[in-house]
């Protein structure tokens, strides 16, 4: 999976190196509830995908 993910990063996207921790942040989820990175990481690995959309 790591190799496939590495190969899919296209121009304009970026990813963290494996030895760099992401800064903690809180964002609203699709229902308006707060979603905190630290809480999600406490449960296991996290894959974040930010989809830019306009509805």
**Residue at token pair 């942040």:** 25
Tell me the Cα Rg of the chain. Answer: 13
Does residue 45 contact residue 39 with C-beta atoms inside 8 Å? no
Count of C-beta atoms within a 10 Å radius of residue 37: 16
What pLDDT is attached to residue 43? 95
What are the tens digits of pLDDT across the range 8-55? 666 767 667 777 788 899 999 889 999 999 999 999 988 887 777 766
Task: Read off the pTM.
Answer: 0.57
What pLDDT is attached to residue 53? 72
What pLDDT is attached to residue 6? 58
What pLDDT is attached to residue 31? 93
């Amino acid at each position: 999976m790591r190799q496939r993910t590495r190969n899919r990063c296209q121009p304009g996207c970026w990813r963290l190196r494996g030895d760099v921790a992401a800064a903690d942040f809180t964002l609203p989820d699709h229902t308006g509830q707060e979603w905190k990175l630290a809480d999600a990481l406490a449960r296991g690995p996290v894959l974040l995908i930010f989809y830019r959309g306009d509805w």
